[in-house]
Amino acid sequence: MSFPIREGAEKLFISVNSANFASNQSLKLSFSLDGRTMGYGIDKVPQLPPEILVYSLMHPPKNAFVAGILSLNWAVTAVGRSHFTLRAADERPILSKGSELRLNGQNLGIPGCYYEWLCGDDLDYTESEDGFMLTPDFFKSYQ
């Protein structure tokens, strides 16, 4: 898809809503200022093996923690939105029923409490209540 660039424009602003793209997609932008058009496309990219996703989950960077607790938004971003769906009751992201991480996550090395937090099956706990143990110290033992 392409659209014209306004004649005499000095600046070009681009806004991309990441919610419109699955984790196995990438956005490619191309510019042709002399042709006065700009185009974009969405391409599929290969899905990472679940072992690599588990490694990413087990090695969060310092900025993955909010107030000392692992951010669920970071986990969703780390493995890709395609592995998650929204829980009907409160729209909390939870691992999709068909996600390889839900099906084999514990066998691939995700500890039980972390796995349960990602699955979000217990409606009695909020994201922060359920994830209170997912601190930087928790992950040090898995480094």
Q: Is the pTM of this model over 0.75?
A: no
In this prediction, residue 70 has a pLDDT band, given cuts at 50, 70 and 90, of very high
pLDDT higher than 80, residue 97:
yes
Kindly report the average pLDDT of the chain as a whole number: 77
Decide if pLDDT at 134 tops 60.
yes
- The CA distance from 72 to 69, in Å, is 9
| Six-digit token string for 107 | 């066998």
Q: At residue 6, does pLDDT exceed 60? A: no
Model confidence at 9: pLDDT above 90 = no
User: Burial code of 74-94, b = ≥16 C-beta within 10 A, e = fewer?
Assistant: bbbebbbbebbbeeeeeebbb
Structure-token pair, residue 25: 């997609």
Contact between 22 and 37 (Cβ < 8 Å)? no
Query: Residues 128-141: what's their mean pLDDT?
Result: 84
